[in-house]
Structure 1
Amino acid sequence: MPTLCTKFVPPLEPLGMLDRARLRTLASEVARHRLTVIQAPAGYGKTTLMAQWHDELASGGATVGWLTLTARENSASALIGSIAAMLSRIPGLGDELCPFAAHQSFLNADALMVQVIERLSAHAEPVFLFFDDVHALDAEAAVALGDFVAHAPGQVHVAFGARDTRHIELAAMRAYGQLYEIGYAQLSFTIAEASALLLGAGAPGLTDTEVAALVGKTEGWVTGLKLALLGMAKSPDPSAFVVAFSGRRRAIADYFEEDVFAGQRPDVQRFLLETAVLERLTPRLCEAMTGAAGAGTMLRALEEHGLFIVQMDDEGASFRYHSLFAEFLRRKLAETEPGAVARFHRRAAAWFAGEGQVVEALEHALQARDDAMLVDLLERNADELTFKGKIGIIAQFAAGLTAEALARAPRTVLAIAWLKTRSRNTAEAERLLAIARAHVAELRAGDAGDPDAIAALEHTIRHRAMVIAAARDEPARVEEECNSLIQIFGTQRPYLTCTVYGQLAAARREQFRFDGLEKLYAQARMLADESGYRFAKIALQASVGLSLLAAGRTEAAATALEQGLAESARWAGPKSGLGALVALPLADLRYEANDLDAARRLVDDHLPVSREICFVDQLQAGHVVRARLHASAGDMAGARRALDEAMEVAHEGDLERLRLAVIHEQVRLLLRNGQPEAALQHAAAAKLPDKPDGLGPAGNATSRDDLRAAIWVRIAMSRDQMAEALALAKQWRAFCASRGARRAGIRWNILAAQILMINGDPRAAQRLMREAIALASNANVVRSFLDEGTAVLTILTEAYGDALESQHPTDLFARHVLDAFRSRRTAPVVAVVPGDEGLYGRLSGKELEILTLVGCGMRNREIGNRLGLSEGSVKWYMQQVYDKVGIRRRSQAVERARQFGLIA
């Protein structure tokens, strides 16, 4: 929803601002308190006083901001978006937050609040923020404003102007001395101030007694004084006017009625009443409301006569009524013509709808309390708003509809169902689909309605059901539905067909099927272009980017994801839930390329808002990369916390694939850290069999099957079940090769190579490692090697010992990986033992036992015979020992362990 620029500057005072020294000096109190509240009834000069403080601070070089609040800030998201827009107008303070003011469809209030607070925290100098008309906020937005003040950094000082603050919690700040309060008694004009105001405005000379009388009648209410001033300007006898003037609220209403409204020509009166419901007055809109030409001339005449109208732009094309005068006019309209307020709101809604300004039309239909009109507008515009990425607006205006009204709005219901699916509230989405199905069934039973329109609704219901299945990670069902929907939609509904292609790509990827990916992507892009909705490309690029990444097409994947990220920023601003769709897969890509800084930025910016719109693919990428980033920095505790949080998300959303990915990562890290018992405990949650039976890749294998098998193989390696582990790893390696699943194939080759090395077959291990490097070279996959530790380093070094001078691309990439091993800034495992500089991780009982025997001078074969292990297994355990003690030679590793008292 567009934001008026006038919200961010103090309103102009047509009569000038009186310098009230006793109040102006109170600006110093603003700088001494976290919050200053100016609370008084309407028209007591709250805005004027804050505007004076604002200007004085600004002229002194202080950083200041202004926000006039309205009923449009009717949610936490809308409020924080407006605050972000305000900060965006302050040079150097909030530039990056500006896009949120224009696109709030995917705005996440908590995430943006964090960004706003961070930007303010980064500003070292004091910041003064003025919020006018706080009473316009509803309870939700008011609570959000209170939270903003509570969390703002210490150098930020806030001032509120409000008629009441019942929704703002002030008790705590009052108790801690952080609150400064000004009430109506302090704001009331004194005789001297009123005299200066009247004199400065050119009022006829009044005696001190007459001024005192006027102040008494108005009780120091500045608006009453100004109304009196206007009245006196038209009165032939100012003294008599003062005597006759009433300072009570009702007297002011009588003044509007008798001396302002009643004094206008009948055509002016009618114009004022017929345009009273408008927040913005333009000539064309006013002509539509009144049915008469010449509105532009009328508006300029009203301004010239000072009839409580304010020009909103330099060209004089847009105006608004003074809020108190507008309230009077609406009250007058309601009193004189019952039902007229709703009628004129409907008229405004119809005009805005005809102009294509759907949001404004919906707002007036809502104000008219006309459910039928609101439903009609939503139904006619549901698809358009959806395709433009504004489903949130549909949900916002549909929120107040009754169940009966919603039952007549299937397109609206289906749009909201899609929104609920994006946030993975699939149960609510299913409930909404049931409402739409019931409506269609009623149409079918009554033999009413356009058959083509009914069929289109049925097809849309199928589309939403497919999207729900995708959110629930049911790839086989999704693929089946997508193939049917492509035949149904064809090119007739290009936007929906484009989304179907995106879901089809995801479903096929989950089932290790990458054939025809390029053709699918090309068809989808063509449909997205044909639809005319650029928004369609964001989810498409996320889905296809993930597929290209899994297929090892890293460069093409990066292009698709980066384009999607740039497009999402145009729609929802940076660091949005929409952006997370592409940012988190891109973080995975950057991490694998060993660009840890870029991966960290993407995860930090987008994982916090990922629950807003992301599916299991994005959640898995984001959470696993975050854990690996912690581990790569030596922060085992951070990695554990990251995985624990990911597991909570998996359980909340019933996402089995995410749960298995977390278990796999937990097992991998624990085994590398010498904690096989703990790894086994975590693996138990995957409910794997003791034997690998049933874990091999079948024709309908999915990535969940791949994860279950990988967990089993790692546990089997720690238990010395090498033959079974190797057989299963080779099955998956061959399967991935046959399906073109390069990323997964790299991992299986690395695992199989380690098993072969443990089994004492270094040549076979080197051969598979070379195959992994060949796969990885085109995909720029580096971290898959580094994260497995020095056991992989040993195999790589031996495999490429004779090719270090080769210029073959694969050999060059192998050297790149070896260089990455050597240049790691921290140890490859996760935590330095406190107080033991140079010792990383905890040695397991088996590793300590082997290291003790090494210290006794025993060779690997002798140790294996003593402990019932193969010679290769002993070598594998020693590689883990080297990782943890930071030493590459046997004798030095023994000496280091003795220094720490780990062995005798």
Structure 2
Amino acid sequence: MPDLIERRDLVAALDRAARSRVTVVSAPAGSGKTSLLCLWRDQYGRGRRIAFMSVRPEQLDAQLFWHALLGAVYDATGADRVEPSTTPGFDGQAMVDRVLSEIGSAGEPIYLVIDDLHELGSAEAADQLTALLTRLPPRVHAIVATRRLPPLRLHRLRLAGELAEIRVPQLRFTEAETRELLATARIPLPDDAAATLHQRTEGWAAGLGLAVLSLAGHPDPARFVAEFSGSDRTVAEYLMAEILDRQPADVRRLLLRTSLLDRVDGELADLLTGAAGSDRILLELEDANAFVVSVDATRTWFRYHNLFAGLLRLELRRTQNADIPALHRLAARWFAEHALPADAVRHLQAAGDWPAAARLLADHSLSMTLDGQGGSVAALLRAFPARAGARSPELAVVHAIADLDRMHLDDAVAHLAIARSHAGTTASRMVITALELLLARLRGHFSAVVEQADALPSPVTGRSDADIALVGDLQAVALLNLGVTEAWSMRLPAAERHLLDGAALARDIGRPYLEVACLAHLGFASTFRSFALARQRCEEAIALAAHHGWEAEPVIAPAAVTLAGIFAGTGEFDRGEQWLARAERLTRAEGEPGTRLLVHLVAGLLAAARGHHREALPEFAAARRVQAGMAGEHALSARVTAWMIATQARGGLLEEAKATLEHAAGDEFGTAAAVVRLAGGDPAGAREELRKVPETASVPARIEARLVAALAGWELGDKAAAGTLVEDALTLAEQDRLILPFAMTGAGELLESLRETSHAALVADILDVVRGGAPANPLPAGELSPSELRVLRYLPTNLTRPEIAGQLSVSLNTVNTHIRHIYAKLGATDRTAAVRRGRELRLLASGRA
């Protein structure tokens, strides 16, 4: 049935492989090996000499094998057929020489294709075939197809690069090919059902073919796919005949008794079978392509193909049903002893031992959550029947953990109350305290977090190893919650200190997920120092998460949105929007409010910076709604309201801006009030409002205030004061090369009016951005040192070398030395060429200014 489609990419891959001296196609029964050879012969065989033969089932006679191969060679070359005689004293070496002579004298390329080599039961013939394949004449190629790796000694060909292989991964149908097969067979399936069918069959050609045959005319194709498994009659019959019935008794016992596992290693298989040597059997099964696949590089752990596993479980229930609960308990004990609690709980549940499963899950749920397995905890909890799960005091803590993960905070309160009323040990009470700390943080009840942090457990000598480990976990959790709370409260130095301590402790106790969580928030906490440091820490968090496979997990959302904010601040709006899109994907609608507020805030800032004021307002409004649902106040909430007011005013919604301002009070709104005054034609009133902005405000807030004051002064005709204020704003912006405040306030005209400035390079970048370009790379890049980069940024200006030296407060000699190094490193011969090369490398602005 899979022959319905041509699989051009796979056939082309075989044709490329066939250019090697020898090509081995090795895969399980039903993988489409013969179909592939036939398609290749049909599509690429025209004008080629192809000697094609299939080894007959259970071929034990070397003489008959060689006679068949020689006959295929005669058919391909068109030479006069000289039938060899069948004799008792068969000379295999002479036959090898005869075949080599025939193919060598053909005078043109020839391909030997041997299908079903696994049927060759003659060791003598296999040795002779090795001799033939290693002595093939030039322009002669061989393709061998087999279910298992052949007993051919082809290592010299492999080392010489003359051996090509096509294995299971290449032969699997892709999801697109699965859809094409269904369409060609005129079987209507929804996209999700087609994807499920591909996943169930793992792209196995025979499985897809059997499914297509069963689907033809089926009244409910989608239901058939949902139920399709190895227990399907047609699949079961095929696998029984081709795989299971061919195995000796000890191998059958291993396959059946380990089929209830998602993965198996030799030690665990020995336990379930009561025999030794399972490692060897599993390795041999994989080598034989018997639907057994290793899942690690050392070939220690194995799994069974989905459909094969389904058949094995069906056969286990049919033949050894009474043993299944005991097998699950054995597996659970083994997994628990090897620190794999999720697997252990799963097998206890399968055995129906609900009390033991509840105890084990309760003991390990916090640890699993700290290892990034919160989803597994929730799934295991859902597997308990209502009577055993909902009413179990032991599972109350587990319910609370799942509630917190899903942001069902009211449910978490109820479950924590039940857990505390039944907490019988100090350890359990400490766990509940840690969860209550997280609950307060997720509610935005920041003052409660700070108060409860005083209840941090401290190491006590004489405790058990388990107690010491728990204390370490709880300390790290408390440091994370405290640091995050301080970050959202804008107590950034304290947040940085606690998050650094939390990350270090998590690293020491072997909790990488917890370490990533601390580092992801540390980026935001570091913004008060410098954007360069904050960016570096965000990237470290994301890299560590990617190393552990968590790059798509919400745990890195704070780092992603902080990066979006950093790039927004430095005027790299396109990069900011890319990181914002990633942060939005990672931030669940019901996720942590502090992160959600920051996502909406950055989205609003990016839109406003581009002049899209009406698009920015819904984002600021969404951020305010998040704040409204918090028990405490996010320190950025006042800034959100202030930016909303200013954006309303700049977007022509003056009355709406005044209405919003009426409900706002405090020094944080001085700049917003000034923007409203300016928009209403009252620059003098704007100046008065700006006197309320304290010098203790953040750097971006002070830059924005100076720029608005400069705009007011400009309108009042006080151009000298406006120039001084702009120069002050540039000085504040220089360290992190902040561009966002200049773009949001519309200060481009003021910058163009500056006749003299000590920030010529930054001004060029800002003007480039406000005119639709992109700024230069704000961080050192390539081989240029930071000092050389500073000099490079002045080269596009009209300043002379002595003037550049004056701007940088260094000697002319120093500037000349830096310029020589810049020319050498950029491969430039003059100033113009250095500027051009700097722009190509994005070390300089694009030049629109």
The TM-score range, normalised by the shorter chain, is 0.5 to 0.7
> Among 378, 390, 405, which residue is 2:389 paired with?
405
Deviation at residue 27 of structure 1 after TM alignment: 1.6
Map of 2:434 onto structure 1: 460
SS for the counterpart of 1:277 is coil
Is contact 2:345-2:380 (8 Å) kept?
Answer: yes
Distance 1:745 1:303 in 2: 67
Distance 1:590 1:570 in 2: 24
Is contact 1:387-1:535 (8 Å) kept?
Answer: yes
Aligned ranges 1:188-203 → 2 under 5 Å: none
Map of 1:439 onto structure 2: 419
SS for the counterpart of 2:691 is helix
> Among 554, 558, 561, which residue is 2:531 paired with?
554
SS for the counterpart of 1:312 is strand
Distance 1:355 1:297 in 2: 22
Q: What's the C-alpha RMSD, in Å, of the aligned pairs?
A: 5.3
> Among 48, 56, 62, which residue is 2:30 paired with?
48
Distance 2:568 2:42 in 1: 48
Q: Structure 1 length as normaliser, TM-score?
A: 0.54
1:680 aligned partner, one-letter code: E
Residues 241-297 of structure 1: per-residue CA shift (max 9 Å, x gap): xxxxxxxxxxxxxxx9xx999xx87x8887676445345454311221244445457
Deviation at residue 608 of structure 1 after TM alignment: 2.9
Q: Paired residues, what number? A: 591
Q: Structure 2 length as normaliser, TM-score?
A: 0.57
Is contact 1:309-1:320 (8 Å) kept?
Answer: no
Deviation at residue 784 of structure 1 after TM alignment: 0.9
Distance 2:316 2:469 in 1: 51
Aligned ranges 1:483-882 → 2 under 5 Å: 483-485=454-456, 493-514=471-492, 516=494, 519-549=497-527, 551=528, 553-572=530-549, 574=551, 576-611=553-588, 615-630=592-607, 636=612, 640-641=614-615, 643-644=617-618, 647-648=621-622, 651=625, 654=628, 664-673=642-651, 675=652, 678-681=653-656, 684=659, 686=660, 688-689=661-662, 695-697=665-667, 706=668, 710-720=671-681, 725-736=686-697, 741-759=698-716, 761-790=718-747, 793-794=749-750, 796=751, 801-802=755-756, 804=757, 811-812=758-759, 815-824=760-769, 826=771
Aligned ranges 1:311-350 → 2 under 5 Å: 311-313=292-294, 330=313, 334=317, 339-350=322-333
Distance 1:58 1:745 in 2: 72
Distance 2:371 2:242 in 1: 51
Is contact 2:291-2:308 (8 Å) kept?
Answer: no
Distance 2:567 2:319 in 1: 68
Q: Give ranges in structure 2 of 5+ residues lacking alignment.
A: 10-27, 45-173, 183-188, 199-204, 461-467, 774-849
Distance 2:256 2:264 in 1: 13
Deviation at residue 521 of structure 1 after TM alignment: 4.8
Map of 2:351 onto structure 1: 368
Q: Taking structure 1 as reference, are residues 717 and 575 closer, same or farther at Cα in structure 2, changes over 3 Å only?
A: farther
Q: Taking structure 1 as reference, are residues 667 and 317 closer, same or farther at Cα in structure 2, changes over 3 Å only?
A: closer
Aligned ranges 1:200-211 → 2 under 5 Å: none
Aligned ranges 1:219-234 → 2 under 5 Å: none
Q: Taking structure 1 as reference, are residues 309 and 557 closer, same or farther at Cα in structure 2, changes over 3 Å only?
A: closer
Deviates more, 1:662-671 or 1:452-461: 662-671
User: Identity, % of aligned pairs?
Assistant: 19
Map of 1:355 onto structure 2: 338
Distance 1:349 1:580 in 2: 35
Residues 654-707 of structure 1: per-residue CA shift (max 9 Å, x gap): 55768876665554445334x1xx2432663x4x427x7xx224xxxxxxxx3x
Aligned ranges 1:9-48 → 2 under 5 Å: 23=1, 25-28=3-6, 48=30
Q: Taking structure 1 as reference, are residues 477 and 56 closer, same or farther at Cα in structure 2, changes over 3 Å only?
A: farther
Is contact 2:654-2:679 (8 Å) kept?
Answer: no
Distance 1:172 1:223 in 2: 21
Deviation at residue 487 of structure 1 after TM alignment: 7.4
Distance 2:447 2:216 in 1: 51
Is contact 1:594-1:782 (8 Å) kept?
Answer: yes
> Among 387, 396, 406, which residue is 2:379 paired with?
396
Deviation at residue 580 of structure 1 after TM alignment: 2.4
Deviates more, 1:480-489 or 1:591-600: 480-489
Q: Give ranges in structure 1 of 5+ residues lacking alignment.
A: 1-22, 32-45, 63-125, 135-140, 151-156, 175-180, 185-219, 231-255, 444-448, 698-705, 805-810, 829-904
Distance 2:764 2:442 in 1: 46
Residues 485-527 of structure 1: per-residue CA shift (max 9 Å, x gap): 4779999734443443344344344444445565445433432
1:405 aligned partner, one-letter code: G
SS for the counterpart of 1:535 is helix
Distance 2:321 2:607 in 1: 66
1:48 aligned partner, one-letter code: G
Deviates more, 1:292-301 or 1:398-407: 292-301
Is contact 1:146-1:168 (8 Å) kept?
Answer: no
Q: Which has the higher contact order (CA 8 A, sep 6+)?
A: 1
Distance 2:213 2:625 in 1: 41
> Among 382, 385, 410, which residue is 1:430 paired with?
410
Deviation at residue 617 of structure 1 after TM alignment: 4.7
Is contact 2:674-2:690 (8 Å) kept?
Answer: yes
Q: Taking structure 1 as reference, are residues 761 and 547 closer, same or farther at Cα in structure 2, changes over 3 Å only?
A: farther
Distance 2:242 2:196 in 1: 40
Deviation at residue 397 of structure 1 after TM alignment: 1.7
Distance 2:213 2:614 in 1: 44
